[in-house]
């Protein structure tokens, strides 16, 4: 009998971690990773953080060096796109005219930036070349405009300000990060950027962009910058999945084991809309933690083992002197309780629903993400006053 062959489409963090997990779990068959970039699989968060700021070398981005893939018997096909999946024959066609067979297939195709229609010359940040371009801009330009006050937009804005550029940010919603953090904490990030000199315009749409440098907003205000970058969200790369008949809805729909509607195909990372057992609904999270952790569960499923992905959504950011971690989901929250010094940006915020903690964020306070997660998982009601009491350890918060 020939050894089974596992194929991974997507050469980012999720794809590399899936190959690693398969080998760690004892799989000794063939593993091939197909990716459309001419690089070793790399980590994307540094592109808007340490790497963009010049505090990390290119080599530090790589999930593994080239030697690891050779030693582990993992074949890389860089600079090649998967163009079609034939589920009946278990083969994937590639852009170079070849095809690859598979016994099990993992989709780790990630997401792509949403684009501004009719906005020629606008830049986006997704690949290492985009970050390199921005770093070069920081040394030659005097100004940058950012469309969108989400995570990417704000991290780039912070890096640009710290590099000495004049920065304008325009956001269609009334506050930054509104879907992720709600009004209360969105206001914290608005104040952070205003205090660092960002020209912040909220609740405005971009009506026209000229030559990628001049923009007109819906409030009538016009501005010009040396460059404009758009960070208005991302779209999951579901084209392959949709074309071959897999269930797709805001990503590739998968169960808690990350299995698609085809038992031989799995999905992980930004492209996966996964059922979360604790939250009781499907959830697609465009953050590093899913790409890091989901592949372990997907690898288990590919090997016929029963594991489920139940880690809480997690993300982090670093902007100016603010470092933070977030865990949970604010969906349906009723109030926010603070613990610590909010004006001094050294605090924990808790989102409560029916006096149960559903999400938490630590700002410049560390080593608390596990007890915050435990409060969320417990599902028990808490006394908000005790939750806010900095003298009471988080793991001793009793029921109300």
What pLDDT does residue 82 have? Answer: 98
Q: Give residue-wise pLDDT tens across range 107-156.
A: 999 999 999 887 889 999 999 999 999 999 999 999 999 999 999 999 99
Supply the CATH classification number for the domain 128-230.
Answer: 3.50.50.60
What pLDDT does residue 1 have? Answer: 53
What pLDDT does residue 349 have? Answer: 98
What pLDDT does residue 118 have? Answer: 78
Q: Give residue-wise pLDDT tens across range 49-73.
A: 999 999 999 999 999 999 999 999 9
> What CA–CA distance (Å, rounded) separates 213 from 360?
39
**Which range among 92-106, 203-217, 311-325 shows the weakest confidence by mean pLDDT?**
203-217
400 pLDDT band, cuts 50/70/90, is very low
Q: What is the overall mean pLDDT for the chain?
A: 95
Whether 399 has a pLDDT exceeding 50, the answer reads no
Supply the CATH classification number for the domain 321-396.
Answer: 3.30.390.30
What pLDDT does residue 95 have? Answer: 97
Whether 196 has a pLDDT exceeding 70, the answer reads yes
398 pLDDT band, cuts 50/70/90, is low
Distances (CA, A) of 298 to 8, 210, 255, 303, 338: 11, 45, 10, 9, 37
Whether 14 has a pLDDT exceeding 90, the answer reads yes
Whether 2 has a pLDDT exceeding 90, the answer reads no
Q: What is the pTM of this model?
A: 0.94
What pLDDT does residue 397 have? Answer: 81
Whether 179 has a pLDDT exceeding 90, the answer reads yes
What pLDDT does residue 3 have? Answer: 81
Spans of all domains in the chain:
5-112+235-302, 128-230, 321-396
Fold equal for 5-112+235-302 and 128-230: yes
What pLDDT does residue 396 have? Answer: 81
CATH number of 5-112+235-302, picked from 3.30.530.20, 1.20.120.1200, 3.40.250.10, 3.50.50.60: 3.50.50.60
Mean pLDDT of all residues in 4-33: 97
By the 8 A CB rule, do 215 and 208 touch? yes
């Amino acid at each position: 009998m020939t050894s089974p062959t596992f194929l991974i489409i997507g050469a980012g963090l999720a794809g590399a971690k899936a190959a690693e997990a398969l080998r760690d779990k004892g799989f000794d068959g063939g593993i091939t990773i197909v990716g459309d970039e001419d690089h070793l699989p790399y980590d994307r968060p540094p592109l808007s953080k340490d790497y963009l700021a010049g505090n990390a070398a290119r080599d530090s981005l790589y999930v593994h060096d080239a030697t690891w893939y050779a030693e582990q018997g993992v074949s890389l096909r860089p600079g090649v796109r998967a163009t079609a999946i034939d589920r009946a024959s278990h083969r994937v066609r590639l852009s170079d005219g070849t095809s690859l067979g598979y016994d099990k297939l993992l989709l780790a195709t990630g997401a792509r930036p949403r684009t501004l229609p009719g906005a020629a010359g606008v830049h986006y940040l997704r690949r290492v070349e985009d970050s390199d371009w921005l770093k070069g801009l920081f040394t030659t330009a005097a100004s940058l405009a950012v469309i969108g006050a989400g995570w990417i937009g704000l991290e780039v804005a912070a890096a640009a300000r710290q590099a000495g550029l004049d920065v304008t940010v325009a956001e269609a919603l009334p506050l930054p990060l509104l879907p992720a953090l709600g009004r209360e904490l969105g206001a914290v990030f608005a104040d952070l950027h205003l205090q660092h000199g960002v020209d912040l315009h909220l609740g405005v749409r971009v009506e026209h962009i000229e030559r990628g440098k001049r923009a007109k907003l819906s409030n009538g205000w016009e501005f010009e910058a040396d460059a404009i970058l758009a960070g208005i969200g991302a779209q999951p790369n579901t084209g392959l999945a949709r074309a071959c008949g897999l269930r797709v809805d805001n990503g590739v729909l998968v169960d808690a084991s990350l299995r698609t509607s085809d038992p031989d195909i799995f999905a992980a990372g930004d492209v996966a809309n996964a059922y979360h057992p604790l939250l009781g609904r499907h959830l697609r999270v465009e953050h590093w933690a899913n790409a890091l952790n989901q592949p372990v569960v997907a690898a288990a499923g590919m090997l016929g083992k029963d594991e489920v992905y139940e880690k809480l959504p997690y993300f982090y950011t670093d902007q100016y002197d603010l470092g933070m971690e977030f865990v949970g989901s604010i969906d349906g929250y009723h109030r926010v309780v603070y613990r610590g010094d909010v004006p001094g940006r050294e605090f924990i915020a808790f989102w409560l629903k029916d006096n149960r903690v559903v999400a938490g964020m630590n700002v410049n306070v560390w080593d608390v993400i596990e007890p915050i997660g435990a409060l969320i998982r417990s599902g028990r009601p808490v006394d908000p006053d005790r939750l806010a009491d900095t003298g009471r350890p988080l793991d001793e918060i009793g029921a109300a």
